Amino acid sequence: MGSVKDIIIIKESKNEETGIGRFIFSDRYSVFDWGQMPDHIIDKGKSICISTSYFFEKLESYGIKTHYIGIVDKNGNLKKLNEIDQPTNIIQFKMLRVLKPEIKGNNYDYSIFKEEKVNFLIPLEVIYRNYLPEGSSVFKRLKYGSLKLQDIGLKEMPLPGQKLEKPIIDISTKLELTDRYINWDEAKEISNLKDSEIEEIKLKTLKINEIITKEVEKIGLINEDGKFEFGFDENRDIILVDAVGTLDECRFTYNGLPVSKEIARIYYRKTDWYKKVEESKRKNKIEWKKYVDIQPPNLPIELFKAISDIYRSYANEITDRKWFDVPPLKEILSKIEKYI
């Protein structure tokens, strides 16, 4: 079980042999690495499942290898998205091993990735950035000096909302208690990647970003940034894993309004709970949660209902099918401007 989805293991992944698993997408959500938040977003699991199945099938039509096998219908049968008539929250996928670095003192030991060659999740999260929206971590990192302008190909300090001439590809750890931004040299070192594999990940990221951008443009959305995860299959081929093109993985906007869980992030940034989270992360990068002595509050009911409808409407519009009985995205977004 994860913070936002559960896993059923049908065939265990062992050594060099991949397995088979099923993701059960839940209505839970997470922000700021906290884990499960107090609200459950209605039909979020089904809408995420529908939209990620759409994008996995779209990407595979372009020749991009993924771990996706199919969507599971209400009777437990494996199907393609165009073969089901009711939304479901389960996909079946090729399952890789998750090899975790060891915690040694206040650091992580990644030596296991020098021993293993195939069938595992690459311990990195790859982030693409087409815009730098307000709230992007890039601004905080530039402010505190952990990121320099030349690292992202800029000569002047960017402004919130700025469109980039070329996408930035950023990288962070994936399997640490709190994700940590790193550079490509450290990414290569901890994951034991070859130069050619780093280049392949970058090229795949740019291609997937391009496809998502074109798809969401059809429904009036701008693809500002998002994240991908990759793994090595049994032949050490790089494959796309987890979920893709959803409102949890991407930050989309419509006429400047966020169409993603960024809506919840914006709301929570104004709370005392968020201030405690930030203070605690500065105290201890590994065990920061134990210093947060208050719980996140529930979302206001109107905002909660609007976010639920946004997830459902996005699934409808990106697939051009009426899975859920909800208004169009632009109508829903008009209700939440006062919160964001």
The tens digit of pLDDT for each residue in 5-30 reads: 999 999 999 999 999 999 999 999 99
Q: Can you read off the two tokens belonging to residue 211?
A: 């496809």
- Provide the pLDDT for residue 179: 82
Alpha carbons 46 and 52: distance in angstroms, whole number: 10
The string of pLDDT tens digits covering residues 261-279 is: 888 998 999 999 999 999 9
pLDDT digits (tens, 9 = 90+) for 85-104: 999 999 999 999 999 999 98
| Residue with token string 């909800």 | 326
CA 61, 245, 16, 198 dihedral sign is positive
* Mean per-residue pLDDT, 41-55: 97
**Predicted local confidence at residue 10, as pLDDT:** 97
* Lowest mean pLDDT segment, chosen from 46-60, 221-235, 323-337: 323-337
User: What is the mean predicted confidence (pLDDT) over 234-238?
Assistant: 98
pLDDT band at 313 (very low <50, low <70, confident <90, very high): very high
CA-CA distance, 334 to 336, in Å (whole number)? Answer: 6
Contact 140, 157 (CB under 8 A): no
Q: Which residues pair with residue 109 across a beta bridge?
A: 102
**Predicted TM-score of the model (pTM):** 0.91
Measure the CA–CA gap between 303 and 267, rounded to whole angstroms. 9
User: Hey, how many other C-beta atoms are within 10 angstroms of the C-beta on 94?
Assistant: 21
> Is the pLDDT score of 260 beyond 90?
no
Inform me whether the pLDDT recorded for 2 exceeds 70. no
Contacts 24+ apart (CB under 8 A), 183-188: 183/151, 187/124
Evaluate whether 157 touches 149 at the Cβ level (below 8 Å).
Answer: yes
Query: What is the pLDDT, as a whole number, of residue 1?
Result: 58
Contact status, residue 125 vs residue 173, Cβ threshold 8 Å: yes
Q: Tokens representing 94?
A: 């090729």
201, 126 Cβ separation under 8 angstroms: yes
Average pLDDT, whole number, for the chain?
A: 93
Q: Where are the alpha helices (DSSP H) in 129-270?
A: 137-144, 184-191, 195-217, 262-268
Q: 41-61 in b/e burial notation, b at 16+ Cβ within 10 A?
A: bbbbbbbbbbbbbbbbbbbee
Dihedral through CA 222, CA 224, CA 246, CA 173, nearest 10?
A: 170
Q: Which of 311, 277, 310, 281 is closest to 296 using CA atoms?
A: 277
For residue 136, what pLDDT band results from cuts at 50, 70 and 90?
Answer: confident
- Taking 80 as the threshold, does the pLDDT of residue 207 lie above it? yes
Domains of the chain from N-terminus onward: 101-339 (3.30.470.20)
Model pLDDT, residue 121 = 98
Is the predicted pLDDT of residue 4 greater than 80, yes or no? yes
Mean pLDDT of 32-57: 95
Q: CA separation (Å) from 281 to 23, 115, 146, 291, 316?
A: 30, 32, 15, 9, 38
- Rounded average pLDDT over 195-205: 97
- Whether the pLDDT of residue 149 is over 90: the answer is no
Angle at the Cα of 65 from the Cα atoms of 321 and 225, rounded to 5 degrees: 65
Residue 283: CB atoms within 10 Å:
10
| 43/104 Cα distance (integer angstroms) | 40
DSSP letter string, 42-67: TTHHHHHHHHHHHHHHHHHHTT--BS
